[in-house]
Each structure stands twice: as C-alpha cells, then as structure tokens.
Structure 1
C-alpha cells in the first residue's frame, strides 16, 4: 500500500488510476523482503520499475521514487565552436 500511495503522490494522481503493483512485483514477497528491521541487521532494499518510475523500498522504511529517464541538461557556453 505504501508504494502505491507514494507513487500516486509523486504522480499527483489517485492510487486507483495506477496500474496495480502486482503487475510488476509480488507485493507479499516485497513486504517479506523489506520488513522493517532493527539497525543491527543492516538495510535490505529492493529496486524495480513501475509506471515509468524506478522505485526503491528500504527495510528502514524509506521509499524512493524517481522517473526512469530523467532529462539531462547539456551545458553550452555561447561562442564555443561546437555550438550549432
């Protein structure tokens, strides 16, 4: 539930408008892998793509979501010979 709710927030949409998470990853398996653990066990995380976003779920409770293909910015200085 937390992954879909967070993705819906990032995309500024209703969670019911998103493709169900189970079309990409088994939600029960995801829960089992990243169940919140104490700090002595270290972080376990799972990364996958869903709805055009890379999603990482950490066992310490953090979910990060970024677009799969973030635009890159090219730096061109005026007057350079390679400017077209």
Structure 2
C-alpha cells in the first residue's frame, strides 16, 4: 500500500512541478514578441491561460506589467506543499 501511495505522490508532485515549468516558459515567451503566436505559445496558452486568468481578475496589470504569475506561482507552491503534507499524513495514518 505504501508503494502505491508513494508512486501516487510522486506522480502528483511531478505534475505540479511540470505545470510550474509550463507557466514559467509561457511567461518567458510573453517577453519576446517574435515568439508570441508560435505553436508552443498556443499550446502553453491553452493549458496555462485559464489558470492565470483567475489571478488576472484579482491583480490587474500595473503599468502594462502583469503581476498575476507571481500569485499563480505562490498558489502552485502552496498546492505542492499541501500535497506533500497530505502524503505525510497518510503515511502516519497507515503507519
């Protein structure tokens, strides 16, 4: 049972980390006008924009600078931390 939980934890942890990398790459692409509209930009946009749009409603752009990714990274970090804590709690319960 422990091996299954550990594998599940690793997959979830890896997925959160991969999503954080996707957000970071999407942000970097937005800084380069020639990279916008490329296939990778559109692909990442489909995955990342819905998540970032939640935070864009909370934090408006200041002087053309979009600060929503900072909050998005913070929330993803909290989710990653919560995922780790959940695993530790389950390990203690199962013993």
Higher RCO, 1 or 2 (CA under 8 Å, sep at least 6)? 2
Whichever of the two has the greater Rg, that structure is 1
TM-score normalised over the length of structure 2: 0.24
TM-score, length of structure 1 as denominator length: 0.25
* Richer in helix (by share): 2
